[in-house]
Amino acid sequence: MAKNSRTAKTAGTRTAKKPVKTGRAASSKTKPTALGNSETRDIQPTTFPTRRRINTDAGYLRVRRTPALEPGNILGVLRNGADVEVLGVEGAWARILLSAGGAPIQAEDATVPVVCYMSAQYLDLSQVGGATLSPVTSGPPVVTVPPVQPADHGVHAPQVGGNQLPRLGLHTLGNGGLAREEADNGCKFFCMMDSFSDASQLVAKHPDAIVLARRYVGTKIPSTDDMIGQLEGASNRALVYIGLNEADPAGAESSNIPARAGFDKALATRIKQVSGATYVGGTFSMGTPDFTSNDVCLLMKEHYAPLYNNGLMAFDMHNYSPKIEHIDRDDDLIWYERRYEFLFTHCGFDPRIRAIYSSETGVDEGGVGGIPAHNYTSAQFEHWCNRWIEIHSRPIVVNGVSYPSPYVGGAIFQYGSYSGWWGYDVKNYMNVLRKFY
């Protein structure tokens, strides 16, 4: 969220850009029936493996690592109508083969297929003379590929290993003093604006903290030299620098992406030369880019993916919940809280690299505001924080292979009632938030 970046707003609210959902069938808003609450089907014998088509009233079907409804077990989703290779059925679960381009994915010894599980009730049984499937014994687990060591990203380089919990912290806008106080209380993730001296003092005292430092840029894309100057030389290797913010100087449409990526590339290159500090590009607003557009995905793959994959820069996306209860909607997280998944599944980003940041997160309903504007209770906020950490700890699944979460952390917007953003100020929820540092 930019300082004074919205011209049409009331105090404490903003007109949020809702995630673009064009291309999703209207029926996709229907949550699939949970196992055990649906009509059961008689299991008749058939020959395995057999190819079947997914048939669900929703636009997708969740795929899981194991045949169980457990937290963190979801690998991803398959679109309605997708064909799958069924190896067998275990109770209510169908065991399906993971493949790429029609070729089965196998474990490293090339003898064991990589599989996952889906609800058998959503298999189209009309494809092979109406026959259903017969139960089989359990199969091998999904293969998890460990991440690789990426190129240097400064002090806060992505780390090898995917078991680190994402950090939940604060966006303090220009209130650098508040950020330093909260760092003393244990907060380890910040976004700070126009307060580089405070940011430098914070990381000097708390070298394990991650601090995203940005400048309010305005509505015009600056030159690389100008931006370096606005970042006060970008000389502190311990900081994580941000360039553009949301759509203030440039939009997220296909016509804007090449220029935006060009700016990020030039600035990241210069910062690498100046100090070697981490630079995070993108900083796209809630609901952008439009990943349902093939043109957008191709442009992201061409212009941004190489910069992320070669270690030149990390990537920033604002990932608000439209309402606090939305974070419990596993079927819709990809369009809001976990929108960054599209970078890896559609845009060529390397899922082995852990370098996804959110300089803004929290709750943001257009025309209403954030957490305090809704008068959410402390218990509701605590539940949201718990779920936030859980969902961002989940793996990324690309081409049927599960990778550790690429997510580093997010800063709740905002703390300090800066420039009239009182509808987002979480000052009355700090005792809850401090439990999650």
Q: What is the predicted pLDDT for the residue at 298? A: 96
- Residue 110 is predicted with a pLDDT of 56
Average of per-residue pLDDT values in the chain = 80
Specify the 3-state DSSP secondary structure of 387. Answer: helix
pLDDT band at 75 (very low <50, low <70, confident <90, very high): confident
Place of tokens 């609901």: 287
Query: pLDDT class for 272, splitting at 50, 70, 90?
Result: very high
* Token pair in block for residue 70: 């457990």
SS (H, E, C) 320-339: EECCHHHHHCCCCHHHCCCC
Mean pLDDT of 336-353: 96
Residue-level pLDDT at 40: 30
> How far apart are alpha carbons 164 and 405 in whole angstroms?
9
Quick one: which of 302, 327, 310, 300 has its CA closest to 384?
327
Least Cα distance to 313 among 279, 363, 284, 348 occurs for 279
Where is average pLDDT lowest: 37-46, 107-116, 156-165, 289-298? 37-46
Classified by CATH at the fold level, domain 167-436 comes out as TIM Barrel (3.20.20)
Nearest CA-CA partner of 241 in 205, 200, 300 = 200
Residues in CB range of 219: below 8 A, 6 or more apart: 248, 249
pLDDT, residue 76, reads 81
Q: 276: alpha, beta or left, given left = phi > 0 and alpha = psi -120 to 50?
A: left
Backbone CA torsion sign across 322, 328, 329, 334: positive
Q: Write the single-letter amino acid at 436.
A: F
The residues spanned by each domain of the chain are 26-122, 167-436
- Nearest CA among 419, 410, 347, 374 for reference residue 2: 419
* pTM greater than 0.75: no
Evaluate if residue 38 carries a pLDDT over 70: no
pLDDT digits (tens, 9 = 90+) for 366-398: 899 999 999 999 999 999 999 999 999 999 999
Hey, CA dihedral for 158, 179, 437, 287, is it positive or negative?
Answer: negative
How much of the chain is in helix, strand and coil states, percent to nearest 5?
25, 25, 50
**Are 162 and 405 a contacting pair, CB within 8 Å?**
yes
What integer is the mean pLDDT of 91-119? 74
Is 119 a residue whose pLDDT tops 60? yes
CA 437 to mean position of chain CA atoms: 19
Helix H or strand E segment including 52? strand 50-53
CA 292 centroid distance within chain: 16
Name every residue whose Cβ is closer than 8 Å to that of residue 201 and which is 6 or more positions away in sequence: 180
Mean pLDDT of 130-146: 39
Q: From start to end of 93-229, where are the E strands?
A: 93-97, 99-100, 103-104, 115-119, 167-173, 189-193, 210-214
Per residue in 300-310, pLDDT (tens digit) is: 999 999 999 99
- Roughly what angle, to the nearest 10 degrees, separates helices 196-205 and 176-184? 10
What Cα–Cα distance (Å) separates residue 234 from each residue in 173, 196, 261, 270? 18, 9, 19, 9
What's the N-to-C CA distance of the chain in angstroms?
A: 23
* Cis previous bond, 404, omega within 30: no
Cα gap 84→98, rounded to integer Å: 8
- Contact (CB, 8 A) for 421 and 12: yes
